[in-house]
Amino acid sequence: MTINGQALSSTQVLAVARHYMPVTLGSESVSRILAARAVIEKLADEGQTVYGVTTGFGQLSRVRIPHDQLTDLQHNLLRSHAAGVGEPLSEEVTRAMMLLLAASLARGNSGVRTEVVQLLLDMLNARVYPIIPSRGSVGASGDLAPLAHLGLTLIGEGEAMLEGQRYTGAEVLQRAGLTPLHLQAKEGLALINGTHMMEAIAILGLADAQTLLRTAEVACAMSIEGLMAVTYPWMRVFTCAGASRGSRSAPLDCENW
Which of these, 176, 177, 158, 178, lies nearest to 168 by C-alpha position?
158
Distance of CA 104 to CAs 98, 114, 232, 234, Å?
Answer: 10, 13, 50, 45
CA–CA dist 104, 112 (Å, integer): 11
Chain-centre distance of CA 167, in angstroms? 21
Active site residue 129: no
Strand ranges inside 171-212, DSSP E? none
Q: Determine which one of 51, 129, 167, 232 is catalytic.
A: 51
In the chain, the amino acid numbered 163 is E
CB-CB neighbours of 112 under 10 Å: 26
CA–CA dist 188, 72 (Å, integer): 10
Q: Which residues are catalytic?
A: 51
